[in-house]
Amino acid sequence: MKELVIATQNKKKLEEIREILKGLDLKITSLVDYSFAPKIVENGVTFRDNAIKKALKISRFNGKLTLGEDSGLCINALGGKPGVYSARFSGKNKSDALNNQKVLKLLGNLPLSKRRAHYSCAVAIADAGKLIGSVECRCFGRIGFKPRGDYGFGYDPVFIIPKYKKTFAQLGPKIKHKMSHRYLALKKAEKIIAGYLKNKGQCYILKKAAKGGGYG
């Protein structure tokens, strides 16, 4: 079975990606399975920069089809912060809880109408050091006044979807996976991966035929 390596060590993110891409006939692994993989410094200016860097660097290392993903929260009232620093917003001793606390403290008592925000997710696919494609999608909402809900990770407990008046952490996977930034981006990436594998297979058949090799 063809392998797809997810360039992450985040187990919760990997679990979510596996669920969304379960329609692909691929063995999905991650950097947890590659202990000697090179360290990736996420110093890109944009989410897309970081996603592409992850995909290219890891695919050069292992020579395999690799998916790089970078995502985060952008809050209008904070000038787009935390942005690409979302995962490490609270500093050296970062954690989801501390990141959420910092965001809530910075927003203070701003009314809900002024707590507009969006999640952004960029996904890049590379194979053996060659970039195949990249996509980026967003999901819009508001930042609540306190964490609510037990599902998900990151800023899910404070990210409210206006339509439901609940946070992603309250809504759970069935609803989140139909509208989240990561779901939308991965579904686009899924089409890129499927198309690439199909075309690659067709190219292989044509090469075999051109060389006079038998096929079936």
What is the percent of the chain with per-residue pLDDT over 70, rounded to a whole number? 93
Measure the CA–CA gap between 176 and 20, rounded to whole angstroms: 11
- Which pLDDT belongs to residue 1? 81
Q: Identify the residue with better confidence: 210 or 67.
A: 67
Cα→Cα distances 113→27, 88, 95, 163, 215, Å: 44, 26, 27, 14, 63
Class of domain 3-210: alpha beta
To the query of whether residue 150 is one of the catalytic residues in this protein, the response is: no
- Which pLDDT belongs to residue 119? 97
Q: Indicate which residue of 25, 33, 70, 96 is catalytic.
A: 70
Measure the CA–CA gap between 186 and 21, rounded to whole angstroms: 7
Please state the domain extents for the chain.
Answer: 3-210
- Mean pLDDT throughout 95-99? 96
pLDDT in tens, 144-192: 999 999 998 999 999 999 999 999 999 988 899 889 999 999 999 999 9
- Which pLDDT belongs to residue 86? 96
pLDDT at 207 over 80: no
Q: What is the mean pLDDT of the chain?
A: 91
- Which pLDDT belongs to residue 196? 94
Closest CA to 162 of 185, 139, 187, 137: 139
Contact yes or no for 152/168 (Cβ under 8 A) = yes
Element (H, E) at 11: helix 11-20
